[in-house]
């Protein structure tokens, strides 16, 4: 059974930069005001949203005087506005969930965005047919096993099983995240797994992957 991935609606707000947040907020207010037919029941009244935007504009101007306490007031006004915008995002998300085929149009009408669908992550271990009969190429995902950006010396340990994981046979360890296992019996499905040693710390064995050997 295939699963339809939920389409996520996002704001993409510059929450930490009020000069950028204000026009973004204005755009969302204008979008709701213009597209009332598509966005008929916002949880935050538009008059309230407009007042919060104006309050933040005033508070932001006050911070430029350098008067003590103005930054704290500005930050409080910003938090109130961001909370309202998040409530509106959740409302738009509910409309998208009810009409997934119209998600992009609904998000655009609200001056919001559809989150990019992430690419499928590379698996921890891949098994591919080797160049010769009875051989399999194993490729481990080093960044998942070791950690992205880690530069410590690592040793990769490899094992194979011809009986569904009841018994395992070790292959030579390697300093690289790929190896070729040879001498396997063709037309038998083997299971493979990998572990890694980093700075004398031995990691757990990965979940096994299987491949019918040619």
Mean pLDDT of 88-93: 94
Q: Which of 66, 89, 114 is the last residue of a domain?
A: 114
Q: Is residue 119 part of a domain?
A: no
Q: How many domains does the chain have?
A: 2
Residue 146 is classified by DSSP as T
Mean pLDDT of 31-50: 96
Asked if 22 and 63 sit in the same domain, the reply is: yes
Q: Is residue 99 part of a domain?
A: yes
Q: Is residue 94 part of a domain?
A: yes
Give the CATH number of the domain where residue 130 resides.
Answer: 2.60.40.10
Asked if 179 and 153 sit in the same domain, the reply is: yes
pLDDT 10s digits, 158-168: 999 999 899 99
The answer on pLDDT for 86 being more than 70 is: yes
The answer on pLDDT for 119 being more than 80 is: no
Q: What mean pLDDT is reported for the chain?
A: 90
Q: Is residue 137 part of a domain?
A: yes
Asked if 161 and 192 sit in the same domain, the reply is: yes
Asked if 148 and 193 sit in the same domain, the reply is: yes
Asked if 148 and 89 sit in the same domain, the reply is: no
Residue pair 172/129 in contact (Cβ under 8 Å)? The answer is no
Q: Which of 80, 114, 148 is the last residue of a domain?
A: 114
Q: Is residue 120 part of a domain?
A: no
Q: Is residue 4 part of a domain?
A: no
Angle at 167 between CA 162 and CA 171, to 5 degrees: 75
CA–CA dist 196, 144 (Å, integer): 11
pLDDT 10s digits, 146-157: 866 556 789 999
Q: Is residue 162 part of a domain?
A: yes
Q: Which of 114, 147, 181 is the last residue of a domain?
A: 114
Asked if 36 and 100 sit in the same domain, the reply is: yes
Asked if 20 and 70 sit in the same domain, the reply is: yes
Of 24, 2, 8, the residue nearest 104 (C-alpha) = 8
Mean pLDDT of 184-191: 96
Asked if 166 and 95 sit in the same domain, the reply is: no
pTM over 0.85: no
Q: Is residue 106 part of a domain?
A: yes
Asked if 33 and 101 sit in the same domain, the reply is: yes
Asked if 110 and 206 sit in the same domain, the reply is: no
Of 117, 123, 112, 173, the residue nearest 145 (C-alpha) = 123
Which residues constitute the domain of residue 49?
9-114
Asked if 95 and 158 sit in the same domain, the reply is: no
Asked if 50 and 139 sit in the same domain, the reply is: no
Return the residue matching tokens 């050997």.
213
Residue pair 125/138 in contact (Cβ under 8 Å)? The answer is yes
| pLDDT-derived band at 4, boundaries 50, 70, 90 | very low
């Amino acid at each position: 059974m295939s699963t339809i991935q939920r389409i996520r609606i996002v704001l993409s707000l510059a929450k930490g930069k009020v000069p950028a947040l204000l026009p973004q907020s204005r755009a969302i207010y204008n979008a709701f005001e213009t597209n009332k037919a598509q966005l008929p029941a916002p949880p935050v009244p538009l008059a309230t949203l407009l007042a919060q935007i104006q309050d933040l504009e005033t508070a932001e101007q006050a911070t430029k005087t350098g008067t003590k306490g103005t930054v704290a007031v500005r930050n409080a006004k910003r938090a109130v506005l961001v909370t309202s915008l998040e409530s509106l995002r959740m409302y738009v998300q509910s409309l998208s969930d009810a009409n997934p085929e119209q998600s992009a149009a609904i998000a655009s009408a609200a001056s919001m965005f559809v989150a990019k669908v992430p690419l499928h992550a590379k698996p921890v271990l891949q098994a591919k047919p080797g160049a010769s009969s009875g051989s399999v190429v194993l490729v481990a995902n080093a960044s998942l096993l070791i950690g992205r950006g880690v530069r410590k010396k690592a040793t990769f340990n490899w094992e194979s099983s011809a009986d569904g994981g009841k018994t395992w046979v070790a292959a030579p360890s390697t300093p690289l995240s790929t190896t070729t296992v040879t001498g396997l019996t063709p037309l038998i499905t083997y299971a493979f797994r990998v572990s890694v040693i980093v700075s004398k710390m031995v990691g757990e064995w990965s979940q096994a992957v299987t491949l019918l050997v040619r």
